[in-house]
């Protein structure tokens, strides 16, 4: 019996157990996510609208709400073998420190140089760009994980890579920048003077340190105005959740080998890609009525899209040049106060997860920064891995659920996504260690202001 096997500290799959197909949760959703809207026509975007911006095959994946499985091309499977399968860790030492009867598992995606799950989608997007005969791709990066992942993937598949890096990160994280340059990417601080939108933002807000929404605007402008270039995005989009389903598919295979049935599945949510990927096969069962799981999205209290945002059409960028997405949003004009979890500072959320949350298939909690770093410290000391601040949001929620189990004596299985490592986040750890870290929570007035500026579109 699978249940009687002693569960190892790390469950490693074999190379031949890496998924060969991505799973598309949308196929099992009764209420599909709302379509992207072309702000010029006010109509749902068509493939023709998107192909000047994105690679053709990625456009197909983006618009396909019905095909449940997509074969992973052989070339991507080969590349996945260089950094996958990723381990499923049983956090025995954390359980012991907490004194909880709960069993805590985490799927660790930080074992590659980018230090996060983002390489799963970066490699897919770079592959399709190369296959289409393109010269290069543009993108934005905030904290730097996505830019690093894309630089690695472009180096592997032989593409040029132009990264607009949010200025504050460019200055604060020079080492991230050098990693990207080592893989051959060019890195420009955003807002720059190289684009119309960058010049406009610099003129309007002199000395601005930039934002993710602004860097997106610049990257899109360069992609559509440069021959042989397209734009790629590391989160939010349906195609990215599709690629990230490898996380959940592997996690499920590992669980099944040992008869583990998760009761609670937890992930941090920035644009929703790691959470969407981790929950995919489990949510599929839930949507088909085969099984039930509690699913929890964890966001920073400083950028609380699910818990305090509205479900409405909004732009994905500050410059308002992208299509509009119906999602939980704080408004594209919302600039969250400096929070160290850079990967969670996006004003919106994946349209797929937004619809699932709206329909009651998942819950969301917002957590404060110092509480997140307390959890990160405890995890580092017990389990040895230095977690990324983003990932530590999920650790916080997993610890809180495990402590509830201690109260009730329930032996629940908790699975969370450990999305990456925190080696480039030591300024944040330093503030935490020095006791100078603060928690900032936007006031209702601040949120109302950016939400009132949402585009008028039903």
Ligand X SMILES: *Cc1c(COP(=O)(O)O)cnc(C)c1O
> How many residues in the shown chain lie near ligand X by CB under 6 A?
18
- 390 lies in the binding site for ligand X (CB under 6 A): yes
Q: Which long-range contacts (CB under 8 A, 24 or more apart) does 409-413 make?
A: 409/101, 410/101, 410/102, 411/101, 411/102, 411/103, 412/102, 412/103, 412/263, 412/264, 413/102, 413/103, 413/105, 413/260, 413/261, 413/262, 413/263, 413/264
- 391 lies in the binding site for ligand X (CB under 6 A): yes
Closest CA to 366 of 429, 319, 309: 309
- Give the one residue of 419, 425, 428, 454 binding ligand X; rule: CB under 6 A: 419
How many other β-carbons are positioned within 10 Å of the β-carbon of residue 319? 22
Contact window for ligand X (CB under 6 A) among 128-136, 160-168, 268-276, 441-449: 268-276
- 270 lies in the binding site for ligand X (CB under 6 A): yes
Nearer to ligand X, 202 or 274 (CB): 274
Contact window for ligand X (CB under 6 A) among 189-197, 269-277, 307-315, 424-432: 269-277
- Residue 189 and residue 298: Cα distance in Å, rounded? 29
Nearer to ligand X, 85 or 420 (CB): 420
Contact window for ligand X (CB under 6 A) among 177-185, 267-275, 362-370, 437-445: 267-275
- 118 lies in the binding site for ligand X (CB under 6 A): yes
- Residue 341 and residue 318: Cα distance in Å, rounded? 20
Closest CA to 314 of 299, 295, 300, 333: 333
Shortest spacing between CB 408 and ligand X, in angstroms: 30
Nearer to ligand X, 309 or 405 (CB): 309
Asked if 72 and 22 count as a contact pair (C-beta separation under 8 A), the reply is yes
Shortest spacing between CB 273 and ligand X, in angstroms: 3
- Give the one residue of 112, 123, 145, 202 binding ligand X; rule: CB under 6 A: 145
Contact window for ligand X (CB under 6 A) among 81-89, 97-105, 162-170, 385-393: 385-393
- Residue 149 and residue 232: Cα distance in Å, rounded? 12
Asked if 283 and 295 count as a contact pair (C-beta separation under 8 A), the reply is yes
- Give the one residue of 272, 300, 309, 319 binding ligand X; rule: CB under 6 A: 272
Nearer to ligand X, 45 or 236 (CB): 236
Tell which positions 317-346 bind ligand X, by CB under 6 A: 343-344
Shortest spacing between CB 202 and ligand X, in angstroms: 26
Tell which positions 220-239 bind ligand X, by CB under 6 A: 235
Please count the CA atoms within 13 angstroms of the CA of 132 that sit on its side-chain side: 21
> 103: part of which helix (H) or strand (E)?
strand 103-108
Residues 76-115, mask of contacts with ligand X (x by CB under 6 A)? ----------------------------------------
- 420 lies in the binding site for ligand X (CB under 6 A): yes
Q: Supply the DSSP string of 375-443, one letter for each residue.
A: HHHHHHHHH---B-HHHHHHHHHHHHHHHHHHHHT---EEEEEE-BB-TT-HHHHHHHHHT--------
- Residue 408 and residue 442: Cα distance in Å, rounded? 34
- Give the one residue of 213, 248, 271, 331 binding ligand X; rule: CB under 6 A: 271
Binding site for ligand X (CB under 6 A): 116, 118, 145, 235, 268-274, 343-344, 388, 390-391, 419-420
């Amino acid at each position: 019996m699978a249940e009687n096997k002693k569960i190892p500290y790390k469950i490693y799959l074999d190379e031949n157990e890496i998924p060969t197909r991505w799973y598309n949760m949308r196929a099992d959703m009764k209420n599909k996510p709302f379509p992207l809207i072309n702000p010029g026509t006010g109509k749902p975007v068509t493939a023709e609208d998107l192909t000047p911006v994105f690679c053709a095959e990625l456009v197909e994946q983006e618009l396909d709400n019905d095909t449940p499985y997509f074969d992973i091309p052989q070339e991507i499977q080969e590349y996945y073998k260089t950094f996958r399968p990723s381990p499923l860790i049983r956090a025995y030492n954390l359980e012991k420190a907490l004194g909880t009867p709960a069993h805590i598992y985490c799927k660790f995606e930080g074992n590659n140089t980018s230090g996060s799950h983002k390489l799963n989608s970066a490699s897919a997007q770079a592959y399709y760009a190369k296959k289409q005969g393109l010269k290069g791709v543009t993108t934005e990066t905030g904290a730097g994980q996505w830019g690093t992942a894309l630089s690695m993937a472009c180096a592997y598949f032989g593409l040029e890579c132009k990264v607009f890096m949010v200025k504050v990160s460019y200055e604060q994280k020079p080492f991230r920048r050098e990693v990207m340059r080592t893989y051959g990417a060019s890195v420009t601080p955003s807002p720059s003077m190289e684009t119309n939108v960058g010049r406009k933002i610099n003129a309007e807000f002199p000395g601005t340190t930039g934002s993710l929404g602004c860097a997106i605007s610049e990257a899109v402008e360069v992609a559509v105005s440069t021959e042989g270039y397209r734009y790629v995005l590391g989160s939010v989009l349906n195609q990215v959740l599709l690629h990230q389903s490898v996380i959940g598919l592997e996690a499920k295979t590992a669980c099944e080998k040992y008869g583990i049935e998760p009761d609670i599945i937890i992930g941090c949510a920035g644009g929703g890609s790691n959470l969407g990927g981790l929950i995919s096969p489990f949510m599929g069962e839930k949507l088909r009525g085969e099984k039930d799981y509690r699913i929890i999205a964890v966001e920073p209290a400083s950028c609380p899209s699910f818990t305090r945002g509205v479900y409405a059409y909004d732009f994905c960028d500050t410059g308002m040049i992208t299509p509009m997405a119906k999602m939980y949003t704080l408004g594209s004009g919302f600039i969250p106060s400096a929070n160290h979890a850079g990967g969670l500072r996006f004003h919106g959320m994946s349209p797929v997860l937004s619809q699932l949350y709206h329909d009651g298939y998942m819950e969301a909690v917002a957590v404060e920064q110092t509480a997140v770093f307390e959890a990160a410290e405890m995890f580092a000391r017990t389990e040895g891995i230095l977690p990324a601040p983003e990932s530590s949001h999920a650790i916080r929620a997993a610890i809180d659920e495990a402590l509830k189990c201690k109260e009730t004596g329930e032996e629940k299985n908790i699975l969370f996504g450990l999305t990456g490592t925190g080696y480039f986040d030591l300024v944040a750890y330093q503030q935490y260690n020095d006791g100078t870290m603060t928690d900032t929570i936007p006031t209702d007035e601040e949120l109302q202001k950016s939400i009132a500026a949402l585009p008028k579109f039903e």
